[in-house]
Amino acid sequence: MRARTERHGDELIARRHLPAGPDRVWTAFTSPAGIAAFWGGSHATVPRASVTVDLRPGGEFALGTRAPDGRTGRLRFVYVRIDRPRELVFDEPVTGLRTTVTLRPAGDGTDLTVHQRKLPPELRTDQAADGLASILDALAAHLRHHDDGDHSDPSNPA
């Protein structure tokens, strides 16, 4: 199953069922090791040492990316709202792009929705939608193949 995306003007919405409970998904989205493991999707790598996280409203997280052709970039976001393990809201301060990550328990895992608003024109493309889908697919693969050890119930490893 791949992530599904839809675009509406300056909004992009992606949905994906993930093979882990909300606590493990939350950890992947809020820990440097988790972010490094999936954020680049199929179009970039994220060196673990490049990721910083200050998980609090007003705190920021940042990461470096390296494309297959060697180009590098730096992304920076500021947390707006943190509701563990249900919702994360963060802004990209230069463009004003707002991302809301919503986690809902669903059967054997988590239903994830990523809703981006105020997309700058260069991100209102099929390529950007495919990039977000590949990031969520990489997250699913990471959760399937790696146990980060952070579970709400240690007797049930999700």
For 6-78, where are the alpha helices, taking DSSP H only?
22-30, 32-38
pLDDT tens by residue, 5-57: 999 999 999 999 999 999 999 999 999 999 999 999 888 999 999 999 999 99
CA distance 115 to 9: 13
**Percent of the chain beyond pLDDT 70?**
92
**Residues in CB range of 25: below 8 A, 6 or more apart:** 18, 85, 103, 110, 112, 139, 143
**Percent of the chain beyond pLDDT 90?**
88
Question: pLDDT confidence of 155, banded at 50, 70, 90?
Answer: very low
CA distance 151 to 77: 26
Mean pLDDT of the chain: 91
Prediction pTM value: 0.89
Cis peptide before 85 (omega within 30 of 0): yes
Query: What kind of architecture, by CATH, is found in domain 4-145?
Result: 2-Layer Sandwich (3.30)
pLDDT tens by residue, 63-74: 999 999 999 999
Residue 154 pLDDT exceeds 60: no
